[in-house]
A and B are shown apart, each in its own frame.
Chain A
Amino acid sequence: MSGDRTRSWGRRTLPFAARPIVAIVVAVLLWEAVIKLFNVPPYVIPTPESTVAFVWDDWSQLQPLFFQTLSEVVLGFLVGVGVGVFLAVLMSEVKVLNTTLYPLIITSQAAPIVAIAPPLVIILGFGMLPKLVIVGLCVFFPIVVNMLSALNSVDPEMLALVKSIETSRLRLLALVKLPSALGPLCAALRIGATFAVTGAVIGEWTATATRGLGNNILTQESALNTPAVFGEVIMLTGIGIAGFLLMSLLERFVIPWRRRSTARGLLRSRFRRRLVSGGAPSVTTRVGAPGSTFAAGVATAAPLQPPADRSVVQGVLR
């Protein structure tokens, strides 16, 4: 069948892990090609080599800037996540707050963040605080929106079941509502991780006492040092991508039931699979391979002997 052949073509010639690398290489080649083709002078667009060379040579000077911006991103992200989760839970539990706070939350996003940054600096000073607020403002919104809709859309029949068993409000939240909101929360965390970098740069652009990458871009730009500008942009982008990947990794750990068939020890089974498949992650463990998860379930469930009590207990307590 021709359909089968085209599908396996992609898999055989381009292994899963190599695809993003290929994409990046192609992008860099395009960058190089544009410069060559249109004869772009280096002060307009620097070559990839000169950009990398700048970061490499000046790393000792860039390092404090990088870590300053990184700390703004990380701390501001944490503030945004904390506020977002707190507001979502509060608004879903107290219906009055849902309708009273929602307009305020939308207002906070409708006001352009670039425009409210200067007054924030006037109020909060030149230190870390206004940056945390600006990054937090960028991050908390997708978290509130995603989590709130997940918390409010728990299956009403599930709520009826829980009510027929009877429990406290706190247990309902901990055992049913919050776990069901984990998926949407993780999606929001990925979005928030990339927004956080934008927030940090805007915070630094407004005014800053401690210099960071975002702030330094302006300085380098006025000196027409385009390799530096490009290099710093790439570093900022790296922070955003790393955050995104970190949040994706987190999702795999907090939502193991999506891609796993049983709840035996997580590391143990991973190790076992590696032994079986010889290094490469087997298809059955990959996210989004439809049908394969079921196959894995049958495979692990097939031996008709009761699992040892210990592993069963672990599975439940997880």
Chain B
Amino acid sequence: MEPTREAATCLLELRDVSRSFGGVEVLTPIDLKIARGEFVSIVGPSGCGKSTLMNIVAGLVEPTSGRVMLEGRDITGRSGHVGYMFQKDLLIPWRTVLGNITFGAALKGRVSKGQLVEAAEMARHYGLSAFLDNYPHTLSGGMRQRVALMRTLALGRPIMLLDEPFGALDAQTRVQLQQWLLAVWAEMQGTILFITHDIEEAVFLSDRVLVMSRRPAAIAAEIRVDLERPRGVVVTTSEEFIAYKRQAMEILYSHRGLYEEVTDPAFATLGPAS
């Protein structure tokens, strides 16, 4: 790491953030810096506390200790500063696609015509023009996730948190959406913190992959992915790619006994929460 460069462009910083639930430590103190324009993924076993980390960044959960800094301001425990997208699309059935995209603006007050036109422009630009007037129930799963991402994008927040956004999609749609997401990200020059349990997805999308350990979660390793951009799906068959994937796998699956998960007391008391 080059601290001077990172400090100049650092957008999001977690300082010593930890969290326990009912005396059980879920997150050990975590330090993390994300630069403006970076695509960072977090991979980890399910139930390791990835989503808890996201909820802390989004201000939905208070950390037991530590601070969350966004653009140098302390946003610990304060919501409304980041864009957050879930595995479930959470589209509102009674709003059209455009209505869903402008939902964030509607929650802030009346949506102006200017905002509507702007949102429609953006959606058209990213390939949703034929569906702007449709109700969500007429859309496919992949389409719904695109709309959900547009809604997150339309919030205009400096960073987007995507919590396994493609987890419920079939393999082909997933690849399509990954490429689409990369195109959107490159064009808007945004910053993305992405959660997944799929190593391949993480390596394919990211500049950096953070591998988390089992609960209590800590960042076990950080892998910088220096694959050329823009990346096509073919890159996933290259030797470099496979080397990155292997590296992540070795960290993720080290120290894991065959029956460990079943006997883990933390798992038994808290239940699976990805």
Contact = CB atoms under 8 A, between A and B. Distances in A.
B92 interface: yes
B197 interface: no
A296 B137 CA distance: 11
Interface residues of B, number: 42
Nearest to A314: B133
Interface string A139-167: 00000000000000001011011111111
Nearest to A172: B107
Contacts of A297: 134-135, 137-139
B273 interface: no
B133 A164 contact: no
A157 B86 contact: yes
B98 A312 contact: yes
Given A165-B107, A165-B155, A316-B99, A293 B137 contact: yes
Contacts of A263: 96, 99, 133-135
A164 B92 contact: no
A158 B93 CA distance: 12
Interface in B97-119: 98-99, 102-104, 106-108, 111, 113, 116-117
Given A164-B82, A315-B98, A260 B135 contact: yes
Contacts of B117: 309
A276 interface: no
B129 interface: yes
A171 B79 contact: no
Contacts, number: 122
A189 B213 CA distance: 53
Given A162-B107, A179-B94, A306 B124 contact: yes
A315 B99 contact: yes
Contacts of B59: 164
Contacts of B98: 312, 315-316
B131 A312 contact: no
Nearest to A316: B99
Interface in A287-316: 293-294, 296-298, 300-307, 309, 311-313, 315-316
B180 to A, nearest CB: 17
Interface residues of A, number: 45
A97 interface: no
Contacts of A260: 135
Interface string B69-106: 00000000001101110101010111110110011101
22 contacts: A157-B88, A160-B84, A163-B79, A164-B59, A164-B79, A164-B80, A166-B80, A172-B107, A175-B106, A257-B93, A261-B135, A262-B96, A262-B133, A263-B99, A263-B135, A293-B138, A297-B134, A301-B131, A303-B130, A312-B98, A315-B133, A316-B95
Interface of B: 55, 58-60, 79-80, 82-84, 86, 88, 90, 92-96, 98-99, 102-104, 106-108, 111, 113, 116-117, 120, 124, 129-135, 137-139, 155
Interface of A: 155, 157-158, 160-167, 171-172, 175-176, 179, 182, 255, 257-258, 260-264, 293-294, 296-298, 300-307, 309, 311-313, 315-316, 318
Given A163-B79, A312-B132, 20 more contacts: A155-B90, A160-B84, A164-B84, A165-B107, A166-B80, A167-B107, A176-B92, A257-B94, A257-B135, A261-B138, A262-B138, A264-B133, A293-B137, A296-B138, A297-B138, A306-B129, A306-B132, A312-B96, A312-B116, A316-B96
